[in-house]
Amino acid sequence: MGAIGASVIMGSNITEANQPIPAGPTPQRDALWQLSRHTGNVYQAISQKVLQTPFIDTHEHLIEERERLTGASHPRVNSDDWTLLLSHYLNSDMLVAGMPQESYDRFFSPKTDPIDKWALLEPYWPAVKNTGYGQAVQIALNQLYEVDKLSAKTVKKVQDGYEKTRRQGFYKHILCDLANIESCQVNSLSRPFNESDMPTLLMQDISIVGMFVGPDLEGFGKPTGIQVKSLTDWHRVIDWWFDKYGKYAVAVKSQNAYSRDINYDQVPADKAEPVFRKRLDNGQLSSDERKTLEDHLFWYAVEKATEYNLPIKLHTGYYAGENRMPLARLINNPCSATELCRKAPKTRFVFMHIAYPYYEEMIALAKQYTNAYIDMCWSWIINPVAAKDFLKKYLVTAPANKILTFGGDYIPVEPVLGHATVARRGIVLALSELVEEEWLSLDDAIEMTDLIMHQNARKIFNLTEKTKLLKDVKWT
Ligand SMILES: [Zn+2]
């Protein structure tokens, strides 16, 4: 289909965005790959293998490309300019480094000229550019716009690059051609399940959090057309989502650990029923009542997902954002994870983000429980050195078929490229060090690369079968 036809169908009204990006790989700019002290054969062999090996990206929040091409009308796009690359994650480091709220608001405002935005960032840039969040952005600027250093001199080139890149076909170009990603798994932040325009590239999780927190009568209940008058009706609502999307989804996802620990008790329906009725009558629930209801519905959704052979992805550890994370709660996540695995041995749990900073405990969890999987998504940019340390230790401790090594975890697509580069660098270092320290043979390290970068994901999420189904899907 021609570019114009495609854009009409996709509802884009941005004319300069209508020129498709030429297909085919563009050589990666490799300046950031030069780690000068690493010239040995082991490092060379492993880095070559890791660069060539595609990732399956097991966690993103990407909005649809079509939504990006409509500019700042999407609630997740503050400002359709280069600052969008800094708007997810690095924005938190900027505030924590001391940027005043007023400057921050102007920086991300669509009303500020994109070129003038540099002056607002400049005082804080030296403090944030080398964090994992900062590195992912710097690498994206380098690989996408050929800008080595963000500055007053280069900001115009960055903005021009942003506009030239953001056009029809840029998701596939960035994810597949540049980042060498085979497919992504998207947890939509705007709907329980997103019917993607690119269903085999942007595979989807079913978001279950609204099934048990609240629960979200409007967002989950309304689309089903079911009149909810009892707990049994709500069970039917949950069933409806699985019946409709269970076979297309790759997993289910909950980020409920942002508001409580993942210590879910198996509460029977008769105990939850009166609480649910009180909720329907708009009664104020006590925190104990809320936990009773959430716990019951969590397990209802988890059992349903298990019936559909879908793994349960749970947020653990570090919180996105700033000035609110209670470490006293997070420290319990690994202990609660062991309880979940023990209570539901047939359910596969994917614990995300290595429960940073409590990652040593997560290695113990994966080593002990058959049904515990660890996903390193997001961890490479929270703390790249800790993520490398985790991977090194994991690979000589727990079975290598239960680890997933990459998820960009981004809303904008551009910094996924930076994150993938940071992750590849970390994997190369972890494997090379294991070989140089003689814990692993070079052959075994090379063999492991395929497992940890894509083969595990393919198996855990049944991707061969899902791809076949999604190839011909017609959303209704
Ligand atoms: Zn996420």
Predicted pLDDT at 39: 62
pLDDT at 476: 77
203 CA distance to ligand 1 centroid (A)? 14
Distance 438 CA to ligand 1 centre (A): 35
Higher pLDDT, 37 or 297: 297
Compute the distance from residue 421 Cα to the ligand 1 centre, in Å. Answer: 18
The average pLDDT across 350-355 equals 98
Q: Please tell me the distance from the alpha carbon of residue 246 to that of residue 261, in angstroms, as a whole number.
A: 26
Confidence of residue 337 (pLDDT cuts 50, 70, 90): very high
pLDDT band at 136 (very low <50, low <70, confident <90, very high): very high
pLDDT value at 25 more than 50: no
Question: Does pLDDT of 16 surpass 70?
Answer: no
pTM value is 0.92
Ligand 1 mean position, distance from CA 59 (Å): 6
Beta-carbon contacts of residue 386 (< 8 Å; ≥ 6 apart): 354, 356, 357, 359, 379
Alpha carbons within 13 angstroms on the beta-carbon side of residue 274 total 5
**Neighbouring C-beta atoms of residue 11, cutoff 10 Å:** 10
Distance between CA 388 and CA 465 in Å, rounded? 32
Residue 34 has pLDDT above 90, yes or no: no
Query: pLDDT band at residue 24, thresholds of 50, 70 and 90?
Result: very low
Instruction: State the distance from the centre of ligand 1 to the C-alpha of 60, rounded, in angstroms.
Output: 6
- Could you read off the pLDDT of 286-304 as tens digits, one per residue? 999 999 999 999 999 999 9
Q: What confidence tens digit (pLDDT) does each residue in 38-76 have?
A: 567 899 999 999 999 999 999 999 999 999 998 767 888
Q: Is the pLDDT of residue 338 over 80?
A: yes
Nearest to 208 by CA among 172, 239, 229, 232: 239
Using a pLDDT cut of 70, give the percent of the chain over it.
Answer: 92
Q: Is 272 in a helix, a strand, or coil?
A: helix
Residue 223 backbone phi and psi in degrees, to 5: -60, -20
The closest of 71, 278, 25 to 174, measured between CA atoms, is: 25
Q: Assign 186 to helix, strand or coil.
A: strand
pLDDT of 1 reads 33
Ligand 1 centroid distance, CA of 255 (Å): 8
**Residue 26 clears pLDDT 50, i.e. is over it:** no
Cα(177)–Cα(143) distance, rounded to whole angstroms? 12
pLDDT of residue 38: 59
Give the pair of three-digit tokens for residue 72. Answer: 């700042």
* pLDDT value for 22: 42
In contact, 214 and 276? CB cutoff 8 Å = no
Assess whether pLDDT exceeds 60 at residue 285.
yes
The phi and psi torsions of 354 (rounded to 5 degrees) equal: 50, 20
Average pLDDT score, the chain: 92
436 touches 146 (CB < 8 A): no
| Average pLDDT rounded to a whole number, residues 185-211 | 97
- Using the mean position of ligand 1's atoms as its centre, give its distance from the Cα of residue 379 in Å: 11
Q: What is the pLDDT of residue 28?
A: 45
| pLDDT value of residue 47 | 92
Q: How far is the CA of 166 from the centre of ligand 1 (A)?
A: 23
Q: What is the pLDDT of residues 240-250, one digit of tens each?
A: 999 999 999 99
Q: Residue 332 burial (CB < 10 Å; 0-12/13-18/19+)? A: middle
**pLDDT by residue (tens digit) across 77-97?**
889 999 999 999 999 999 999
- Alpha carbons 132 and 126: distance in angstroms, whole number: 13
Q: pLDDT of 360-384, one tens digit each?
A: 999 999 999 999 999 999 999 999 9
Assess contact for 94 and 121: CB atoms under 8 A: yes
DSSP-derived letter for residue 199 is: T
SS3 42: helix
CA of 409 to the centre of ligand 1 (A): 5
- pLDDT at residue 235, as a whole number: 98
What are the start-end ranges of the E strands in 162-255?
A: 181-186, 202-207, 251-254
Q: How far, in Å, from the CA of 361 to the mean position of ligand 1?
A: 21
The alpha carbon of 57 and the centre of ligand 1 are apart by a number of angstroms equal to 12
